[in-house]
């Protein structure tokens, strides 16, 4: 389908003008033209009236685990190590493909409602996540989480490689598959080298949690005499393929220099890091040094939602407070992190801005709402005022997937009912109270 979006307030996140009023012509899956009045040239296209809306690129959730939607609220107010070992890992051992499918569908529903058009996810039962992404129409960078602690590492790696071979490039290129060593503390040196070699052979990237807590860094120094970043660098994990490093809260100046030199992209997950008491990463310093930074929610068990608007606002605010400097993380910079930087970091550089020739992944954000008027600076308003409830319309690959807040590819009532039933089954009725 092709469209002519008429009279929008366009925030392209590219070019010299931060915003302007105009039209956007979409032919098939790409932006064909942007201008003041495109009706004479594109009058045959189906019109989408957009007066009273901001047109902007789709949001990118660069780090999540959407199957964990089933675990929302099950382990709150716990330290990360206890949260993982005492709550999350035991529950994950009870997951099945059926329950994972319900969690995945819940996750894509939640993200799509808030204007996320592409996401990066690492977990298990990832065939179900891939199916959910395809059904929703979203873009996804997927990987099977890999660990060799406790045995079974070889089989997990075989599953990860099979996921690449079966799913990479599916959906007309909307699905990408990488390999994902879970974290330095759950993977031994030889296993990390093996994963990196497989990624290089397959021509895919790596997705890994790094330096999320002070304890992780302290334990690494005690065991290896190196920080997690130094250890991964010495193992050549950053040398041959793109690497996405989630969290990176506890980084030394030397760590930051390594990430910059090797072009490693960092994913900032502010609310998850705050909720788990992990700390606040040095994001302004990374950006100033030229390190690519994207934005993520993490999973709903540690956030507890997949609303990237909340992460946008948190990323803009917490660094001002921590640094006692209101000029840190200005609105325009945060939006670039949430859109074009995120798209490039997870392997979709053809998205993330509104430019001729780019993929038509476009949001229409309703500005005729109480939280958006008066409108003086659209960039500021998007960061400090907007929320998921302002998202009216979503196009991905030029396809309408959300219109007037109605899902066009997903059955909300069914998905929510199945997620509730799956969670009750997972918890066995012992600790779950149905509403």
In whole angstroms, give the CA distance from residue 99 to residue 175: 22
Range in 27-31, 183-187, 368-372, 430-434 with the lowest mean pLDDT: 430-434
pLDDT of residue 73: 84
DSSP letter for each residue of 57-79:
EPEEEEEE-GGGGGGTTSS-S--
- Whether residue 256 is predicted with pLDDT greater than 70 in this model: the reply is yes
Other Cβ atoms closer than 10 A to 345: 31
Other Cβ atoms closer than 10 A to 20: 16
Summarised one tens digit per residue, pLDDT across range 106-149 is 999 999 999 999 999 999 999 999 999 999 999 999 999 999 98
The DSSP output letter for 54 is E
End-to-end CA distance of the chain: 41
CATH architecture entry for 3-57+352-407: Roll (2.30)
Q: What is the mean pLDDT of residues 232-256?
A: 98
Summarised one tens digit per residue, pLDDT across range 184-223 is 999 999 999 999 999 999 999 999 999 999 999 999 999 9
Other Cβ atoms closer than 10 A to 220: 21
Among left, alpha and beta (phi > 0; psi -120 to 50; other), residue 155 is alpha
Q: Report CA Rg, the chain.
A: 21
DSSP letter for each residue of 337-377:
IIIIIHHHHTT-TT-SS--TTSB--EEEEE-SSGGG-S-S-
Tell me the pTM.
0.96
Which of 214-223's residues contact partners 24+ apart within 8 Å by CB, and which partners? 214/250, 214/279, 215/81, 216/183, 216/184, 216/185, 216/250, 217/250, 219/185, 220/184, 220/185
- Whether residue 433 is predicted with pLDDT greater than 80 in this model: the reply is no
The DSSP output letter for 429 is T
Q: Has domain 59-345 been given CATH number 3.30.930.10?
A: no
- Whether residue 26 is predicted with pLDDT greater than 90 in this model: the reply is yes
Q: What proportion of the chain, given as a percentage, has pLDDT over 70?
A: 98
| Mean pLDDT, all residues of the chain | 96
Listed by start position, the domains of the chain span 3-57+352-407, 59-345
For 137-191, list the strands marked E by DSSP: 139-146, 175-177, 180-181
């Amino acid at each position: 389908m092709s469209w002519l979006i008429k009279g929008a307030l366009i925030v392209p996140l590219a070019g010299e003008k931060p915003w302007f009023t105009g039209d956007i012509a979409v032919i098939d899956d790409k932006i064909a033209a942007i201008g003041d009045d495109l009706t004479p040239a594109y009058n045959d296209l189906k019109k989408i009236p957009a007066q009273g809306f901001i047109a902007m690129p789709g949001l990118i959730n660069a780090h999540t685990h959407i199957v964990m939607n089933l675990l929302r609220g099950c382990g709150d107010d716990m330290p990360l190590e206890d949260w993982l070992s005492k709550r999350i890992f035991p529950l994950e051992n009870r997951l099945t493909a059926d329950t994972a499918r319900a969690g995945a569908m819940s996750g894509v529903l939640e993200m799509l409602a808030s204007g996320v058009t592409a996401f990066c996810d690492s977990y298990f039962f990832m065939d179900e996540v891939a199916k959910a992404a395809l059904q929703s129409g979203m873009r996804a960078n997927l990987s099977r989480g890999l660990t060799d602690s406790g045995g079974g590492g070889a089989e997990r790696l075989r599953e990860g490689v099979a996921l690449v071979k079966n799913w990479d490039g599916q959906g007309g290129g909307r699905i990408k598959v990488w390999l994902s060593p879970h974290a330095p503390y759950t993977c031994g040196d030889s296993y990390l080298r093996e994963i990196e070699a497989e990624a290089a052979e397959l021509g895919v990237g790596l997705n890994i949690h790094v330096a999320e807590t002070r304890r992780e860094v302290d334990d690494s120094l005690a065991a290896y005499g190196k920080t997690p970043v130094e250890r991964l660098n010495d193992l050549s994990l950053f040398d041959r393929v793109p690497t996405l490093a989630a969290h990176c809260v506890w980084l030394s100046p030397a760590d930051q220099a390594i990430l910059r030199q090797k072009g490693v992209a960092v994913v900032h997950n502010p609310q998850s890091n705050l909720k788990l008491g992990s700390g606040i990463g040095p994001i302004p310093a990374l950006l100033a040094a030229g390190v690519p930074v994207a934005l993520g929610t993490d999973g709903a068990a540690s956030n507890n939602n997949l609303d990237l608007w909340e992460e946008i606002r948190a990323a803009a605010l917490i660094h001002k407070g921590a640094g006692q400097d209101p000029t840190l993380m200005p609105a325009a910079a945060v939006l670039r992190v949430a859109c074009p930087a995120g798209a490039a970091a997870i392997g979709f550089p053809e998205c993330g801005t509104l430019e001729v020739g780019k993929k038509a992944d476009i949001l229409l954000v309703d500005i005729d709402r109480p939280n958006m008027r008066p409108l003086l600076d659209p960039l500021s308003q998007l960061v400090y005022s907007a929320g998921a409830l302002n998202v009216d319309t979503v196009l991905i690959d030029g396809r309408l997937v959300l219109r007037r807040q109605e899902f066009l590819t997903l059955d909300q009532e069914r998905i929510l009912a199945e997620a509730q039933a799956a969670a009750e089954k997972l918890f066995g009725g012992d600790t779950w109270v149905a509403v």
